[in-house]
Structure 1
Amino acid sequence: MEQISGKLKPTRVRYGMLALIFVNVAINYLDRANLSVAAPALSKDLNLSTVELGLIFSAFGWAYAALQIPGGLLADRIGPRVLYAVCLITWSLATMGQGFVRGFASLFSLRLATGTFEAPSYPINNRVVTSWFPDNERASAIAMYVSGQFIGLAFLAPVLGTVQVYFGWKGLFIGTGLVGVVWGIIWYFLYRDPVDHPRVNTAELDYIEKGGGVIRAKTSTKAQATVWNWANLKQIFSNRTLWGVYIGQFSMNATLYFFLTWFPTYLVKYRGMGFIKTGYLSSIPFLAACAGLLISGFLSDKYVRQGTSVSVARKTPIIIGLLLSISIIGANYTDEPAMIIFFMSLAFFGIGMALISWVFVSILSPKNLIGLTGGVFNLMGNLASIVVPIVVGYLVKGGDFKPALIFIAAFGLIGACSYIFLVGKIERPMTALADSSEGKLVS
């Protein structure tokens, strides 16, 4: 092995694992957003009202949000290699099934199934990054894998729009589902945890562990049995700082799920743009969000390395991003396509900046409760995936989209205020284990 000055040079296997997570996230969001691309034609073919369409948009969120805590349990107890492969293949099969639906009930049910099987994905992502990356690289790593949702959709949105035109919405669902099935098999053969990977050396393992990475994420049998004690749940739900982060996550997801659900319909039905043109124009805000995310992640880590307090380095980009997201309301005051896309892109750039928020799960959770904390965090944030599509469906049923954009913009202010006034000093708590015999929390 290569050595420098008598010392073993650390390998960089962690970046390969990050690349795998990036692809997982891209496919994950492709299967969330394909319905939004199909919606204008699908709603016409199936004779769906805006209220029914809003309910179908929300169906994914009902299952996904409800199963975040169980998903965190699975992430803590089952290795990412097996669990992610199973999730990828099952949610992709549910996606393929959407190409054969004939009405509201069957489509709603399959969207529920997609949300169910995707539920463990982000707790797994967080576990992988917490295992493979030290603290001073973690925001950058999170920014890189979360960017998969934006880069994938930005570059594939025109492709999806073209598939929609030539193969219809049925072909769109079947094709995107097939991609996920194939990748699930590839993931299983390529991914390993740090201590199990054949190409990682001890120098890289030491670098990760000394920097705060949890390379031995597997807990003992006794710890696994007690992680889900009520005392641990109480600890997670009673922390004011975490509540500030939860509210902030709900707020940024409100805008995110507008783009993942109603945005293409807004451009086609309410702004009169064609399917292919919409595919290209809708990619611009996703690229802007990706830019915001990467800038935020790398700057945040840079400030941490320079000695800036964790609170300032992690919170500042999120607060600025949430305030920028309010600019979505500007689209209400112009009819120019270029200006509409500008305001949408600026708002989504802000949300991209704010989406490094997953770093707080790694920072604030006790080391043995990372899956639980990640599950609760994603549960609270993804309640927006239920609320926003339904409320927007009701707000636009009269044919006016302006109230819906005001509704979305309000969450930017709410989220910024939450980080300013509720989220205090950022620090990792002591490891907590619940004693199963006495039901007490001990450190």
Structure 2
Amino acid sequence: MTEEQKPSGRTHHRFIILALITILLALSSGDRATLSIAGPHMSQALGITPVELGWMFSAFAWAYVLAQIPAGWITDRLGAKQTILVGLILWSLVTFLMSGVGWLTYPFLTMLILRFLLGAFESPVGPAAGRIIAAWFPSSERGIAGAIFNSAQYVSLVLFTPLMGFLDHRFGWEHIFGVMGVLGFLLALTWAVSYYPPARHPKLGAAELDYMRAGGALVDLGAGSPSATEAHGPRWSDLVELFKSRMLVGIFLAQYGITSITWFFVSWFPSYLVKERGLSILDASLIATIPAIFGFVGGVVTGVFSDWLLKRSGSLSVARKTPITIGLVMTVLIIGCNYTNSTFLITALMSAAFFGKGFGSLGWTVVADTAPKEVIGLTGGVFNAIGNTAGIVTPVAIGYILATTGSFNGALVYVGLHGLMAALCYWVIVGRIERLVIRKGVGLIRAAPLIAE
């Protein structure tokens, strides 16, 4: 890339867009985690059992998983801006309505329904973000872009967990849902006036657009002149083709393991600190931010490291799989919490495991690297659907482990082993990482790589 082709220091709108989708994921992660903070006091007030609370956690994931493929199809058909705007307004409304379940005769059933709707309306975030990263970032910057975006889940815990803990402590659990719903409405307004696809962005300079295009960014996605595939949406045959790719299947399965760890932290972790370690909900919400900070650091550092490896090695496989493996092996440290009663050591082990989880979470970067450009949203939907199946299984499994054993020891072993499973998927199943393309009458084939292998 010549100096003339590089954007000036004043034209970095792609990073403004990255900040916007990172905030979007942070809020959606905060909204799905509201129940983890409100859960202990809400359960006491409404007589909800641990198993029922596990099903309430799981209700979100059922809808989130079932809606991922339709959400991916809609995103490819309508574009990211419209799909996200509608979803954001609707899930914020649902979050706000949760503040009133204590006034109803059947609060458990009502929360199941509202959590299900929350999952359905949040489902476009992942597919849309995968499409946005592929459109706005060249291959050499997707590592850091995907890592920063993925770090939003940790930003969410750092920002929103203390806020929700304070609201619960000072005003009551109901106010957690009300405040988070209002924040969603404000972000919807910001999204409506701020997001544009690259080719239609009113402030994006020609130099930056050319730099992005030359580096492999799919800048014409959503530009107003869609291809036949985009105009009519993906076909069912495209969905079938995705599962014929061993590389994509391995990526999908690995995401299940990674997301199992995520769901422990966004569902049962505060309850672990309160019930197993005897902390108050306010103290637990504050301590829970420490592993989240380490997860955020790991999530950002891995992007820098991965892009550095890409420049040094010229291999997407080396650049993506190396940090993924290092990070996921570190997550096993969570099991060490079973062998100490020290709050300091527990916090340290959780922080190390969460750093590893962040360092190993390059899944969205890999999707942006590999998905056929015509069905990036659909591929992201399948990726997120299979990954978040863990959100159905993990909260309920932990609920039953607690009901059976009365302890979190088995739960921590269950969670920790999923990190090893994910690392093995990348080495045993995925193979070489590279872009796939759709050829009519042929199906998926591997494209000539932009980066030499």
Q: Shared fold (TM-score greater than 0.5)? A: yes
- The TM tier, using the shorter chain, reads over 0.9
Q: Does the CA contact (< 8 Å) of 2:313 and 2:319 recur in 1? A: no
1:176 alignment counterpart: 180
1:403 aligns with 2:410: yes
Q: CA 1:34/1:216 → structure 2, altered by over 3 Å: closer, same or farther?
A: same
User: What is the rounded CA distance, in whole Å, between the counterparts of 1:8 and 1:289 in structure 2?
Assistant: 31
Query: Could you list the runs of 5+ residues in structure 2 that have no partner in the other structure?
Result: 446-453
Return the letter of the residue paired with 2:52: E
- TM-fit CA distance, 1:433: 5.2
Q: Does the CA contact (< 8 Å) of 1:40 and 1:269 recur in 2? A: no
Partner SS, residue 313 of structure 2: coil
- TM-fit CA distance, 1:231: 2.5
1:18 alignment counterpart: 18
Partner SS, residue 327 of structure 1: helix
- TM-fit CA distance, 1:221: 5.8
Q: Deviations over 1:111-130 (max 9, x none)?
A: 00110100011111111111
- TM-fit CA distance, 1:292: 0.8
1:149 aligns with 2:158: no
When structure 1 is superposed on structure 2, of 356-365 and 379-388 the one drifting more is: 356-365
Q: CA 1:232/1:181 → structure 2, altered by over 3 Å: closer, same or farther?
A: same
Percent identity, aligned pairs only? 38
User: What is the rounded CA distance, in whole Å, between the counterparts of 1:348 and 1:202 in structure 2?
Assistant: 40
- TM-fit CA distance, 1:441: 3.9
Return the letter of the residue paired with 1:359: T
Return the letter of the residue paired with 1:353: F
1:362 alignment counterpart: 368
TM-score by length of 1: 0.94
User: What is the rounded CA distance, in whole Å, between the counterparts of 1:228 and 1:28 in structure 2?
Assistant: 26
- TM-fit CA distance, 1:90: 0.7
Q: CA 1:422/1:166 → structure 2, altered by over 3 Å: closer, same or farther?
A: same
Q: Does the CA contact (< 8 Å) of 1:65 and 1:382 recur in 2? A: yes
When structure 1 is superposed on structure 2, of 133-142 and 214-223 the one drifting more is: 214-223
Return the letter of the residue paired with 2:396: I
- TM-fit CA distance, 1:442: 8.1
Q: CA 1:164/1:238 → structure 2, altered by over 3 Å: closer, same or farther?
A: same
Query: Could you list the runs of 5+ residues in structure 1 that have no partner in the other structure?
Result: none
- TM-fit CA distance, 1:106: 0.2
1:68 alignment counterpart: 68
Q: CA 1:5/1:396 → structure 2, altered by over 3 Å: closer, same or farther?
A: closer
- TM-fit CA distance, 1:240: 1.0
User: What is the rounded CA distance, in whole Å, between the counterparts of 1:402 and 1:198 in structure 2?
Assistant: 54
Q: Does the CA contact (< 8 Å) of 2:77 and 2:232 recur in 1? A: no
**Which residue among 133, 142, 163 is the counterpart of 1:129?**
133
Alignment of 1:307-346 (within 5 A): 307-346=313-352
1:158 alignment counterpart: 162
Return the letter of the residue paired with 1:305: K
Return the letter of the residue paired with 2:273: L
User: What is the rounded CA distance, in whole Å, between the counterparts of 1:318 and 1:194 in structure 2?
Assistant: 29
Alignment of 1:204-223 (within 5 A): 204-218=208-222, 220=226, 222-223=228-229
1:419 alignment counterpart: 426
Q: CA 1:88/1:311 → structure 2, altered by over 3 Å: closer, same or farther?
A: same
Partner SS, residue 212 of structure 1: coil
Q: Does the CA contact (< 8 Å) of 1:253 and 1:385 recur in 2? A: yes
CA RMSD, Structure 1 to Structure 2 (Å): 1.8
2:28 alignment counterpart: 28
Q: Deviations over 1:215-239 (max 9, x none)?
A: 1113736313665323312210111
Q: CA 1:6/1:380 → structure 2, altered by over 3 Å: closer, same or farther?
A: closer
User: What is the rounded CA distance, in whole Å, between the counterparts of 1:139 and 1:6 in structure 2?
Assistant: 21
Q: CA 1:22/1:8 → structure 2, altered by over 3 Å: closer, same or farther?
A: closer
2:193 alignment counterpart: 189
Q: Deviations over 1:246-277 (max 9, x none)?
A: 11100010010000000001101121001211
Q: Deviations over 1:256-310 (max 9, x none)?
A: 0000000001101121001211111000111111111111111001111223411
Alignment of 1:190-269 (within 5 A): 190-218=194-222, 220=226, 222-224=228-230, 227-269=233-275
Q: Does the CA contact (< 8 Å) of 1:226 and 1:433 recur in 2? A: no
**Which residue among 302, 311, 314 is the counterpart of 1:305?**
311
Q: Deviations over 1:368-424 (max 9, x none)?
A: 111111111111101001000000000001421111111111111111111121110
Matched residues, number = 435
User: What is the rounded CA distance, in whole Å, between the counterparts of 2:57 and 2:372 in structure 1?
Assistant: 35
1:351 alignment counterpart: 357
1:288 aligns with 2:294: yes
Q: Does the CA contact (< 8 Å) of 2:367 and 2:380 recur in 1? A: yes
Q: Does the CA contact (< 8 Å) of 2:5 and 2:211 recur in 1? A: no
User: What is the rounded CA distance, in whole Å, between the counterparts of 1:157 and 1:340 in structure 2?
Assistant: 18
Alignment of 1:40-55 (within 5 A): 40-55=40-55
